[in-house]
């Protein structure tokens, strides 16, 4: 049995919140740079260079890459041999968000009630997804999800008869409808199967993979490549100015589902793709 203290989790989350907002991950940087080299449109190329320059300034000065510093979503793999001491996991994560956003001077973007719309003032509560796994480690994967790209998410309950073509058409349609509103170049997260609610979790979870890391399932990897090609053929381009780089990656997670159902969720991520992780 391994004991992990409340304050360890709090401090780890606080650090992840700031790093996610201040530092572009290496895989995202490489994908954006590849876009610069691939583009033939001077405007699209210049836009990507400015995105990278903005990221450099953010990291150097510990400033957010975007004024929207996101809703915090945390996926936690809890080892079955882990004991959390000093408080609950949820409270530790929310305390970490509270500290991270206050100390990092990050914008509070959470409303406590979706109807009354009063800001909580500290960017809590976070959205938490937990899974019990073997071992004695606690893995924290954090996304700071901006409203612009999140608002472009869509779900559709296809029929099994819609098949592969139905999936491709729906995902590509979703990316095209998002247009410049999701701050492209985007990352397209897709969840296929499961149930109504679980397909959305799968779509969100797919965004945690490294950019361009294909599914281990060959038929799914081929589906990712086909959708990416079609999205980039849309011509929307970086920030909607046209070009070949509308999306940097399409990442799909799949799960078993009912024989009568084919649920598909699409969760789009912006070019900042604020995510970080740590294992305690």
Along the 280 residues of the chain, how does pLDDT read in single tens digits? 999 999 999 999 999 999 999 999 999 999 999 999 999 999 999 999 999 999 999 999 999 999 999 999 999 999 999 999 999 999 999 999 999 999 999 999 999 999 999 999 999 999 999 999 999 999 999 999 999 999 999 999 999 999 999 999 999 999 999 999 999 999 999 999 999 999 999 999 999 999 989 999 999 999 999 999 999 999 999 999 999 999 999 999 999 999 999 999 999 999 999 999 999 9
> By residue range, what is the domain housing residue 209?
148-272
**Coil, helix or strand for 232?**
helix
Question: Is the same domain home to 91 and 74?
Answer: yes
Last residue of one domain, picked from the residues 87, 110, 145: 145
Last residue of one domain, picked from the residues 145, 177, 203: 145
Question: Is the same domain home to 160 and 216?
Answer: yes
Question: Is the same domain home to 133 and 178?
Answer: no
Domain harbouring 250, CATH code: 3.30.1330
Asked if residue 242 belongs to a domain, the reply is yes
Phi and psi (nearest 5°) for 165?
A: -60, -40
Question: Is the same domain home to 172 and 129?
Answer: no
Question: Is the same domain home to 98 and 229?
Answer: no
Nearest 10 degrees: Cα torsion 131, 247, 126, 134: 20
Asked if residue 27 belongs to a domain, the reply is no
- Strand pairing class (275-279; 186-194): unpaired
Cα–Cα distance, 2 to 161 (Å, whole number) = 49
Q: How many contiguous H segments (helices) and E segments (strands) does the chain have?
A: 8, 10
Asked if residue 28 belongs to a domain, the reply is no
Asked if residue 122 belongs to a domain, the reply is yes
Question: Is the same domain home to 193 and 241?
Answer: yes
Cα–Cα distance, 192 to 212 (Å, whole number) = 18
Question: Is the same domain home to 165 and 88?
Answer: no
Question: Is the same domain home to 210 and 242?
Answer: yes
Count of structural domains within the chain: 2
Question: Is the same domain home to 117 and 164?
Answer: no
Question: Is the same domain home to 132 and 170?
Answer: no
Residues in the chain: 280
Question: What pTM was estimated for this model as a whole?
Answer: 0.95
Question: Is the same domain home to 114 and 211?
Answer: no
């Amino acid at each position: 049995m391994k004991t992990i203290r409340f304050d360890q989790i709090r401090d780890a989350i606080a650090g992840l919140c700031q790093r996610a907002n201040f530092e572009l991950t290496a895989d995202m940087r490489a994908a954006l740079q590849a876009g610069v080299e691939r583009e033939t449109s001077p405007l699209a190329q210049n836009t990507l260079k400015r995105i990278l320059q903005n990221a450099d300034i953010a990291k150097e000065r510990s400033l957010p890459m975007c004024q929207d510093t996101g809703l915090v979503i945390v996926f936690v793999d809890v080892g079955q041999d882990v004991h959390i001491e000093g408080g609950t996991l949820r409270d530790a994560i929310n305390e970490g968000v509270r500290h991270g956003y206050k100390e990092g001077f990050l914008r509070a973007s959470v409303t406590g009630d979706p109807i009354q719309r009063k800001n909580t003032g500290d960017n809590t509560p976070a959205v938490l997804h937990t899974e019990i796994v073997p071992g004695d480690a606690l893995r924290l994967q954090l996304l700071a999800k901006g409203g612009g790209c999140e608002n472009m998410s869509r779900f559709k309950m296809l029929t099994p008869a819609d098949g592969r073509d139905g999936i491709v058409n729906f995902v590509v349609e979703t990316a095209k409808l998002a247009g410049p509103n999701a701050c492209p170049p985007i990352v397209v997260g897709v969840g296929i199967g499961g149930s109504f609610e679980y397909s959305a979790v799968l779509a969100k979870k797919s965004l945690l993979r490294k950019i361009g890391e294909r599914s281990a399932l060959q038929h799914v990897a081929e589906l990712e490549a086909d959708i990416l090609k079609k999205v980039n053929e849309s011509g929307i381009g970086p920030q909607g100015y046209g070009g070949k780089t509308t999306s940097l990656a399409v990442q799909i997670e799949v799960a078993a589902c009912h024989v009568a159902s084919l649920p598909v969720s699409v969760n789009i991520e912006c070019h900042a793709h604020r995510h970080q992780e740590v294992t305690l």
